Each structure stands twice: as C-alpha cells, then as structure tokens.
C-alpha cells in the first residue's frame, strides 16, 4: 500500500473520509456553540436558519448534479468503453451507484425534514 490515496483500499478511504467529516462537523458545532453562547442558542439559530439551509443544500445538490452529468459522467462512461465487454458491466455498476447516491441523499433530506418538523 503506497502513500497515494488512489492506491489505498476503497473501504479505508471511505473510513478515513467518514472520520474526517465527523471531526470537521464536531469542530463546526463547537465553534458555532461557543460563538452563540451555548448549545441552546446554537440550536435555536440552526432551527431558524433551517429553510435557508435547505435551499443552500438543494443548490449544492443541483450544482453537483450538473457538474457530474455534463462534465465527469461523460468522461467516466468514455473510459468504461475500453473494458473487454465494452463497459457494459461497469456501466451497470455506475448506474446502480448513481441510484444509491440519490437514495442516500433523499434519506438524509427526509431525516432533516422530519427533524425540522419536530418529529425526530
């Protein structure tokens, strides 16, 4: 296993990414709570900002979709054509991965909606 992340096993990269996201989230909440004067004030500010944060996330999802669909996906599909089977198996896996990403994003936003409505 070399030093470059492209040579690391995918599960290791996923685990490291998850740990970094959790640590970064903790730092953001800690700084926000200290700036607001406590967790209660921070939670109140986050609750009042929820609709605008939803719009922000939807904008980021839209931007990510446009960049993926028009810039990176055509490159990925073109590189799959060099496989022995013409990329059919890899293309099916790519489509499945895209569906899974959409499902995960939808579940995250559903949880956020339920939480915002006071149900979680």
CA gap 43, 20 in Å, rounded: 23
Give 83's DSSP letter. S
**0.85 surpassed by pTM:** no
Q: Are 87 and 81 in contact (CB under 8 A)?
A: yes
Could you read off the pLDDT of 57-95 as tens digits, one per residue?
Answer: 999 999 999 999 999 999 999 998 888 888 888 899 999
Taking each helix axis as running N to C, give the angle between helix 10-36 and helix 39-48, from 0 to 180 degrees, rounded to the nearest 10: 100
Closest by alpha carbon to 108, among 28, 89, 116?
116
For residues 120 and 3, which has the higher predicted lDDT (pLDDT)?
3
CA gap 86, 114 in Å, rounded: 44
Could you read off the pLDDT of 29-67 as tens digits, one per residue?
Answer: 999 999 999 999 999 998 889 889 989 999 999 999 999
68 burial type by CB count under 10 A (0-12 exposed, 13-18 middle, 19+ buried): middle
């Amino acid at each position: 296993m070399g030093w470059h992340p492209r040579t690391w096993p995918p599960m290791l990269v996923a685990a490291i990414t998850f740990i970094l996201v959790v640590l970064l989230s903790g730092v953001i909440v800690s700084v926000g709570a200290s700036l607001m004067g406590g967790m209660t004030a921070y939670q109140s500010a986050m609750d009042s900002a929820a609709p605008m944060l939803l719009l922000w996330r939807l904008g980021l999802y839209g931007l990510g979709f446009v960049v993926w669909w028009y810039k990176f996906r055509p490159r990925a599909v073109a590189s799959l054509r060099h496989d022995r089977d013409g990329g059919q198996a890899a293309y099916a896996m790519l489509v499945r991965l895209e569906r899974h990403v959409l499902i995960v994003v939808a579940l995250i936003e559903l949880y956020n909606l339920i939480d915002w409505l006071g149900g979680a």
